[in-house]
Amino acid sequence: MTILHHTARLATGMAALLAAHAAFAENLAERGMARLAANPPLCADAVDFIVCADPQPGGMLGTPKTFLDMIQEWNVLRPDFVMCAGDMIMGGPPAAVGEMWDEFEGAVAGLDAPFFAVAGNHDVNDEPEVLRTYERRIAPFNYTVARGNVLCVVLNTEEPGDPDGFSPEQRDWLRGALEASKAEHIFIFLHVPLFRGNWERDWAPAAEIIKGHPVRAVFAGHEHYYRDCGEIDGVRYVVAGSAGGGLGLSEEEGGFFCYLAVRVRGNEVSWSVVKPGAVLPADTVTEAGVARLRELRGMLTGETVELPWEGAVDREVAAVLKNPFDAPMQTTLRWTTPEGWQVDPRELVFEVPAGESRGMSAHLRSDGPARFPVPVLEGMVDNPETGEPVVLSLPLDLVPLTTAPHAPGPVTLDGDLAEWGAAPALAMTYGSGCDPADTANLKAAARLMWDEDHLYVAVEVEDNEFYQPYHGDVVWMADSVELWIENSNWSFSLSAKGPQVFLDERPDKHLDAVVPEVPLAVKRDGNRTVYEAAYPAAEVPHIPLEAGTQIRFSILVNDLDPSGPLEKRHYAELAPGAGQHFNCPMVRVTLGRKE
């Protein structure tokens, strides 16, 4: 058995990494290879292995019980080996990751089978010592695992420099690994499912390389849901679900904890999706099935209610039910009405002929400025295709409106905000883990401006204790700002290394990296902190910086107060749900005209 190494483009250079690796020969992958070599397969045509992904804890430490339970099940199933598609720890600076890997390696020490890992965005970052630690303790960034008639190929989506897709060096490594293989069945593993994003840019070069080789499936993680993405050119593409990391989708859309039990017998390859304690077929959640589910859930639609920031609602609101079936539909839908809202009538009775739509209205009124949560129209309809009911839920589509004025002149990033007088303050009046009315603990507001070269964001925070010991991708665990600007997810912080802007994602790029091209000033004065950032047009290419452009926006301010009284992380948010990966209502911001 051999492990093939690929260390191209690492910040410290190939020589330093190879030297570090030589000094610590027994990483987790190499221990796994030794165990495979000591126990050769009884039959080369029979290989069983497990695929899992994203068992990282919700905090700095604390291996999820779900993952520990899975390990016990794997000891019963006795696979040849286990492959994990990344994100095994929460990650952080070099001083923090050692203890995290101690905990993780302690957990997998209870596994009777060899364990092989793929680097995820939580496992590594751009710190050279973090990269060295991963290679020294866990695995190379590219390697192969051979067992019987099977070859597993590990790719790295976390390359320093963030190339689109894979770097030329890594593509060359992949080409060489495939050409050197005589395996009858090849499986490719990576963390971020690049095949689900911009295929032409991020995956097409790799897809071209694997053509002509017996690649049966590509397994990825990162998304925290299971999805059989279908077959392209004879290769199945699969997102492997979550082995303990937080879930974001409904169970019907793949949002459940699971692992995959892969079975190879001669020319046959199959796998089962295993919830801890339950075995499901491989096609339990497919792209086509999810698309149909969302289509059916979308049979109930409503009109958008736009109103000025802090405005009130007092109007008729229509809802339309479309019948996509070949049989008539009849159902009663009811409004769930939270405090601060009035709805009349509370029930709507729909009778819809096959293939047609019917609309009905109710009068909605807010007691003063409209607040979230909003009324929700709910109910069920029978699905004659399956015999199962379709659950319908339609929250009022409430869209607060505001304007980002054109900057009056040159903007100096100094935390002073003297130029910001015309920009309305958007107060973050919702809270998670705290009482938003307790402004002595945390109070925050955001402002936006623009000019032809920049989009400007300022955040004012009053906080009884400032605490931010981190930098990189884990600053969200302490005092920091997270914001969502038209399909891009960013964070600000006064990190342990100074002001930092971090990009999680934007429509044209998977990044997960500090972005020095976005300047940030942070000014602290007693309990008050002001963040002032200028996004160059090149860093928001999906937003035309011109009058009349509309962008969707949300924001939250994280707070961690070790001295109390709230010692756990909490946050103020512009709309409820912002802290759940911005699965929340968005404010619509219009770029105003230049005065």
**Once rounded to an integer, what is the mean pLDDT over residues 15-31?**
58
Q: Are 417 and 530 in contact (CB under 8 A)?
A: yes
Integer Cα distance of 216 and 270 in angstroms: 10
Q: Is the dihedral of CA 562, 564, 569, 572 positive or negative?
A: negative
> How confident is the model over 216-235, as a mean pLDDT?
96
Higher pLDDT, 15 or 234: 234
Total Cβ atoms within 10 A of residue 548: 9
Question: So what's the pLDDT on residue 292?
Answer: 87
What is the mean predicted confidence (pLDDT) over 487-514? 88
Tens-digit pLDDT profile for residues 550-569:
999 999 999 999 998 888 89
Cβ neighbours of residue 439 closer than 8 Å, sequence gap 6 or more: 462
Distance CA 371, CA 310 (A): 8
Looking at the chain, the whole-number percentage of residues with pLDDT higher than 70 is 95
307: Cα separation from own chain's centroid: 30
Please list, residue by residue across 422-441, b when 16 or more beta carbons sit within 10 angstroms of its beta carbon and e when fewer do: ebbebbbbbbbebebeeeeb
Sheet with 357-366, strands from edge to edge, namely 300-302, 314-322, 357-366, 341-344
Q: How far is CA 480 from the centre of its chain?
A: 18
pLDDT of residue 584: 84
- Return the exposure string of 364-403: e unless at least 16 CB atoms fall within 10 Å of the residue's CB, then b: bebeeebbbbbbebebebeeeeeeeebebebebebebebb
Per-residue confidence (pLDDT) for residue 18, from 0 to 100:
36
Return the minimum-mean-pLDDT range out of 19-33, 125-139, 310-324.
19-33
DSSP string, 17-37: HHHHHHH----HHHHHHHHHH
Q: Which two tokens stand for residue 309?
A: 């920031």
pLDDT-based confidence at residue 20 (cuts at 50, 70, 90): very low
Q: How far apart are CA 112 and CA 396, in angstroms?
A: 52
pLDDT above 50 (res 5) = no
Residue 149: pLDDT over 50:
yes
* CB-CB contact of 129 with 100 (8 Å): no
**Residue 451 in this model has a pLDDT that exceeds 60:** yes
Contact 358, 350 (CB under 8 A): yes
Residue with tokens 């699971």: 258
Tell me the average pLDDT across 355-383. 95
The pLDDT of residue 317: 97
| Residue-level pLDDT at 162 | 67
What whole-number distance in Å separates Cα of residue 116 and Cα of residue 82? 6
Can you tell me the mean pLDDT for 452-467?
A: 96
Place of tokens 């209205």: 361
* Alpha-helical regions (H) of 365-475: none
What separation in angstroms does the CA of 290 have from each of 229, 231, 238? 10, 16, 14
**pLDDT class of 122 with cuts at 50, 70, 90:** very high
pLDDT in tens, 286-341: 988 888 888 888 999 999 999 999 999 999 999 999 999 999 999 999 999 999 99
Instruction: Give the pLDDT confidence score for residue 24 in this predicted structure.
Output: 44
CA 20 – CA 520 distance, rounded (Å): 35
Q: Does 22 have pLDDT greater than 50?
A: no
**Each residue of 181-191: pLDDT tens digit?**
999 999 999 99
8 in helix, strand or coil? coil
Q: Say if residue 21's pLDDT is above 60.
A: no
Mean pLDDT of the 12-39 span: 66
Q: Are 551 and 486 in contact (CB under 8 A)?
A: yes
Between β-strands 268-275 and 341-344, what pairing exists: parallel, antiparallel or unpaired?
Answer: unpaired
pLDDT above 90 coverage of the chain, percent: 79
| Model confidence at 595: pLDDT above 90 | no
The CA distance from 183 to 178, in Å, is 9
Distance CA 87, CA 485 (A): 26
Rg (alpha carbons) of the chain, rounded to whole number: 26
Q: How confident is the model at residue 258 (pLDDT cuts 50, 70, 90)?
A: very high
CA 134 to CA 146: how far, in whole Å?
A: 22
Mean pLDDT across the stretch 469-487?
Answer: 91
CB neighbours of 575 closer than 8 A, spacing ≥ 6? 372, 430, 554, 584, 585, 586, 587
- Per the CB < 8 A criterion, the answer to whether 591 and 450 are in contact is yes
Mean pLDDT (the chain, rounded): 91
CA 343 to chain centre: 36
Query: 10 Å Cβ neighbour count for 128?
Result: 17
- In the structure encoding, which two tokens stand for residue 582, read together? 């911005």
Work out the number of other CB atoms within 10 angstroms of the CB of residue 593: 11
Q: Which of 296, 302, 281 is nearest to 364 (CA)?
A: 302
**Structural domains of the chain, with CATH:** 14-293 (3.60.21.10), 299-395 (2.60.40.10), 401-591 (2.60.40.1190)
Confidence of residue 25 (pLDDT cuts 50, 70, 90): low
Whole-model pTM above 0.75?
A: yes
**Cα gap 133→475, rounded to integer Å:** 20
Q: Is the dihedral of CA 490, 493, 497, 501 positive or negative?
A: positive
163 pLDDT higher than 80:
no
Q: Output the six-digit token pair for 401.
A: 């409106």
